[in-house]
Amino acid sequence: MIRKDGELVLHAFTLRHRGATEAIQLVSPMLTKRGTVELQPSTNTLVIRDTPAALGQIIPALRRYDHPSRPLSLDIYIVRATRAQIGPSQSDLPEALTRRLRALLPYDNYFGQAQARLSSREGEAVTYALGGEYEVSFRLGAIMERQRVRLSDFRIFRRSELRRTGQALIHTNLILPLEQTTSFVLARHEGSQEALMVVLTLRQGGQLIPVQPKQ
Task: Encode pLDDT of 160-180 as tens digits.
Answer: 776 677 788 889 999 999 999
pLDDT of the residue at 209: 41
pLDDT tens digits, one per residue of 81-132 = 998 777 788 899 989 889 888 888 888 899 999 999 999 998 889 999 887 8
HEC string of 157-186 equals: EEHHHHHHCCCCCEEEEEEEEECCEEEEEE
| DSSP letter (8 states) at residue 202 | E
Report H helices in 86-184.
Answer: 95-104, 159-164
Asked whether the predicted pLDDT for residue 25 surpasses 90, the reply is: no
Report H helices in 66-201.
Answer: 95-104, 159-164
Which of helix, strand or coil describes residue 26? helix
Output the CA torsion 5→11→12→17 (10° steps).
Answer: -160
- Which DSSP helix (H) or strand (E) runs through 85? none
Long-range contacts of 184-188, Cβ-Cβ distance < 8 Å, separation of 24 or more: 185/81, 185/105
pLDDT of the residue at 163: 65
Fold of 2-65: Ribosomal Protein S8; Chain: A, domain 1 (3.30.1370)
Residue range 4-21: mean pLDDT, rounded: 85
pLDDT of the residue at 53: 92
**The whole model's pTM is what?**
0.71
Q: What share of the chain is helix, strand, coil (3-state, %, to 5)?
A: 20, 45, 35
Please list the residue range(s) of the chain that carry CATH number 3.30.1370.120: 2-65
pLDDT tens digits, one per residue of 33-75 = 999 999 999 999 999 999 999 999 999 999 988 988 889 999 9
Which of helix, strand or coil describes residue 53? helix
Closest CA to 20 of 65, 55, 50: 65
What sign does the CA torsion over 143, 148, 150, 155 have?
Answer: positive
Asked whether the predicted pLDDT for residue 10 surpasses 90, the reply is: yes
